[in-house]
A and B are shown apart, each in its own frame.
Chain A
Amino acid sequence: MSMISLSGIHKTYRTKEVETQALENVNLEIEKGEFLSVMGPSGCGKSTLLNIMGLIDTPTSGKLSINDYVIEEMKDKELATFRNKMLGFIFQSFHLIQSLNVIDNVEMPLTYRSLSASERHRLAKEALEKVGMSHRLHHRPNELSGGQCQRVAIARAIVGNPEIILADEPTGNLDSKMGNEVMNILHRLNKEEGRTVVMVTHNEEQAKKTSRTVRFFDGRQIE
Chain B
Amino acid sequence: MKNQYFKRVCYNLRQDPVVTIVSILGTALSIFLIMIVVLMQEIQILPFSPESNRNRILHGDCISYTNANNHDDHQDLSCGMLSEATAKKLYTSLKTPEAVSIFQYPPDQTLISVYGVAPFSADLKQTDDSFWRIFDFNFLSGKAYNKSDFNSAQKKAVISEQIARRLFGSINVVGRKITINHSPYHICGVVREVSNLAESAYSQIWIPYSTTDITDDTWGAPELSGSFSTAILAYKKKDFPKIKAEFNTRSAAFNAKLKAENLRIIDQENPRTQFEKSISPYSNGKPERNKFYRQEAFILFILLLIPAINLSSMTQSRLHRYMTEIGIRRAFGCHRSQILKDIIIENLILSTIAGFVGLLLCLLFAYFGSDFIFTKNWIEDMGRPTVSISVLLNPILFLLAFLFCFVLNLMSSIIPAWQASHTQIINAINGKIH
Contacts and interface: CB of A to CB of B under 8 A. Distances in A.
Interface of A: 51, 54-58, 76-77, 79-81, 83-85, 87, 89, 91, 95, 97-100, 104, 108-109, 111-113, 156, 160
A98 B321 CA distance: 11
A58 B332 contact: no
Contacts of A108: 329, 332
The 5 closest A-B pairs by CB, nearest first: A84-B333, A99-B11, A80-B335, A56-B425, A109-B332
B4 A104 contact: yes
Nearest to B329: A108
B324 A89 contact: no
B429 A104 contact: no
A76 B335 CA distance: 7
Contacts of A54: 331
A109 B4 CA distance: 13
Contact of A57 (B324, B329, B338, B425): B425
Given A95-B324, A97-B325, A99-B8, A57 B426 contact: yes
A159 B429 CA distance: 20
Classify chain B: how many residues form its interface, as a range.
20 to 34
B11 A98 contact: yes
Among A83, A91, A156, max chain B CB count under 10 A is at A83
A51 B328 CA distance: 12
A56 B334 CA distance: 12
Among A54, A97, A100, A156, max chain B CB count under 10 A is at A97
Contacts of A76: 335-336
Contacts of B7: 99-100, 104
Nearest to A157: B332
A100 B331 contact: no
Contact of A58 (B12, B336, B424): B424
B424 A83 contact: no
Contacts of A113: 333
A80 B333 contact: yes
A89 B331 contact: yes
A50 B8 CA distance: 29
A56 B330 contact: yes
Interface in B296-331: 324-325, 327-331
A98 B324 CA distance: 11
Given A56-B425, A57-B426, A95-B328, A112 B11 contact: no
11 contacts: A56-B327, A76-B335, A76-B336, A80-B335, A80-B338, A83-B333, A95-B328, A95-B429, A104-B7, A108-B329, A113-B333
A58 B424 CA distance: 9
A55 B330 CA distance: 10
B333 A109 contact: yes
A192 B122 CA distance: 94
B18 interface: no
B333 A56 contact: no
Contacts of A80: 330, 333-336, 338
